[in-house]
Chains A and B, each alone.
Chain A
Amino acid sequence: MSTILALLETRDGKLRPASQEVLGAARTLADARSGRVVALVTESAGDADASLGGFGADEVLVASGERHSPDGAAATAARVARETSAEVVLLAATVRGRDLQGRIAALLDTGFASDCTAVDPESLVWTRPVYGGRAVAKVRVVGPVAVASLRGNHFPVVRREAEAEVKEIAPEPGQAHVVTVEAKQSARPDVAEAARVIAGGRGMGGPENWHLLERIADAVPGMALGASRAVVDAGWRPHSEQVGQTGKTVSPELYVAAGISGAIQHLAGMNSSKVIVAINRDPEAPIFQHATYGIVGDVNEVLPALAEELEKQDLQ
């Protein structure tokens, strides 16, 4: 029977949102290929129990080490892929997932497809944006097993009534280790993971105007803050919020670009968003050509009105 191996990430015992999608995609592939989904967790188990059956897993393997080791986790994943004769190894295209995919492919002497936005379950042809979203490639992995990482917000999360079988397995040792994980204090989600993003650019005028964006983010559930490269380079906002080619690639359901002109490098990081809203004073700004909805106007005037209107809707 075909095995789809889903490598999951947890933090503080909680399954990461991107990993829920990985399990969903694994379920879709397994159903199309009459296979089963084996989920692998290489950190402290926490949530990784029989309840993962509800997200699509048939079997859950827990190789809990005290600390995450990138090379150890890759070796464990490669061993499990061999033992289960996995046809596909799926990961989230997160910092950790991107770190592991090449290692796992190297250990299995196969290829990998990174940051995929779709897959054909029959042919196993993977769709992935390349050249920072300036082109889209369809690729097939040539090798005994296809390793692929999946971009967030592109694969449906599965919810079903089922329990998975859970087994403890031995982790492989590694040389490198994560020694501390400091979660961000902010209550807002990370821009790379959020389903909704509001991002500001130079047109915001200065870092002192970011409260306008924060007020909107407070009114919309699960909304993260983003920034253009120009404002990060100017020191207005941290690099962790930068969206674009030298920042994070995001594809939320809603992306609001405030005072962002839409340089090609910025578009590269967000043009796969489902709905794009552009607010800009300059009607000729390139961002309007990519926007689903646009408002031509000064952010200092439009954003407070938008915040007020959203607060009235009581979305929280």
Chain B
Amino acid sequence: MKILVFVKRVPATTARIRVADGLRMDPEGVEFVLNPYDEFAVEEALRRKEAAGGDATVTAITLGPPEAQKELRTVLAMGADEAILLTHSDAAFLDAEATAQVLAEQAEQRGPWDLVFFGKQAVDRDQHGVGPSVATRLGMPCLSEIVELEIADGKATARREVEGASETLEAPLPCAFTCQKGLNEPRYASLKGIMAAKRKPLETVQVDLPPAKVEVVELAPPPPRPPGRIVGEGAAAVPELVRALREEAKVL
């Protein structure tokens, strides 16, 4: 069984985002991490490999700058067997569809794959699109934002939370999945895993980037919120708060 997991190097969720030239984030001094949702994807890939036993393998792939080796080593330390870094100095700034195009081409060349996992979104551009787009390009069904997964008899059954409801989905294998918090509890890399990761294969491939499909016209800090005020202290401030919500803000 061949399992592929797509990951991404992203700024830590606590990092302060500064804009360099009105168009791009300034990476200077920013801590980068493995995308938090990709941890669920990696964990699920590893669990499926462990359940399958035998010669099942987990391959991790990313499109990123050369520094993304660090995040791939993390995935190898968690237990993936091999990793592929598709690299270009501008890779981090490519839009979701163009990124999906590069990833799908490379995945196709190295396939076929039985199971394919993604995080449901990368917490940098928050696009939610690469997983379903890559799956579409590979001609695979994709079950998105899943919080439960069962694989049996050549079929995947998954559950996801949608607005105000819970949906169960089914698809034949091979199948792709985008993973949401709640699917599993991602493992930490053990010391043994970290040592082993140093000897695992990490292939670096220089890639050409296709023309962008989304052009950034401007990147700016969020507009400041209009200044607020402290209405008062304790329960005594409640009547004034309700009056302000009704008469000033008109939201009640």
- B69 at the A interface (CB under 8 A): no
Give 1 or 0 for each of B223-252: 1 = CB within 8 Å of chain A CB.
Answer: 101101111111101110110111001011
Number of B residues with CB within 8 Å of any CB on chain A: 89
Chain B residues packing against A (C-beta within 8 Å): 11, 13-17, 19, 25, 36-37, 95-98, 100, 121, 123-133, 135-137, 140-145, 147, 157, 160-172, 175, 178, 181-182, 211-223, 225-226, 228-235, 237-239, 241-242, 244-246, 249, 251-252
Q: Which residues of B contact A297 (CB under 8 A)?
A: 233-235, 237
Known: A114-B128, A131-B123. 14 other contacts (CB 8 A): A71-B141, A99-B128, A99-B145, A102-B100, A102-B127, A102-B128, A102-B129, A115-B128, A131-B126, A136-B220, A182-B168, A245-B13, A293-B230, A302-B238
Give 1 or 0 for each of A97-137: 1 = CB within 8 Å of chain B CB.
Answer: 01111110111001111110000000001000111111111
Which of A35-43, A57-65, A199-207, A263-271 sits within the interface?
A: A263-271
Closest residue of chain B to A143, judged by CB? B213
Closest residue of chain A to B219, judged by CB? A137
The reply to whether A16 and B163 form a contact with Cβ atoms under 8 Å apart is yes
Contact of B252 among A181, A247, A254 (CB under 8 A): A254
The reply to whether B97 and A179 form a contact with Cβ atoms under 8 Å apart is no
The reply to whether B97 and A111 form a contact with Cβ atoms under 8 Å apart is yes
Q: Is the interface of A mostly helix, strand, loop or mixed?
A: mixed
Contact of A111 among B95, B160, B162 (CB under 8 A): B95
The reply to whether B128 and A136 form a contact with Cβ atoms under 8 Å apart is no
Q: Which residues of A contact B16 (CB under 8 A)?
A: 134
Contact of A112 among B129, B170, B220 (CB under 8 A): B129
Alpha-carbon gap, A288 to B219, bound state (A): 26
Cross-chain pairs A/B with CB under 8 angstroms, 27 sampled: A70-B141, A74-B136, A98-B121, A99-B145, A105-B133, A106-B100, A125-B217, A132-B13, A133-B222, A134-B15, A134-B221, A136-B219, A136-B222, A137-B216, A139-B95, A141-B214, A176-B169, A179-B157, A182-B167, A240-B161, A253-B251, A274-B251, A293-B245, A295-B232, A295-B237, A296-B234, A306-B242
- A298 at the B interface (CB under 8 A): yes
The reply to whether B169 and A142 form a contact with Cβ atoms under 8 Å apart is no
Number of A residues with CB within 8 Å of any CB on chain B: 93
Nearest 5 interchain pairs by C-beta:
A111-B213, A102-B129, A102-B133, A305-B235, A176-B171
The reply to whether B225 and A138 form a contact with Cβ atoms under 8 Å apart is no
Minimal beta-carbon separation of A148 from chain B (angstroms): 10
Q: Which residues of B contact A215 (CB under 8 A)?
A: none
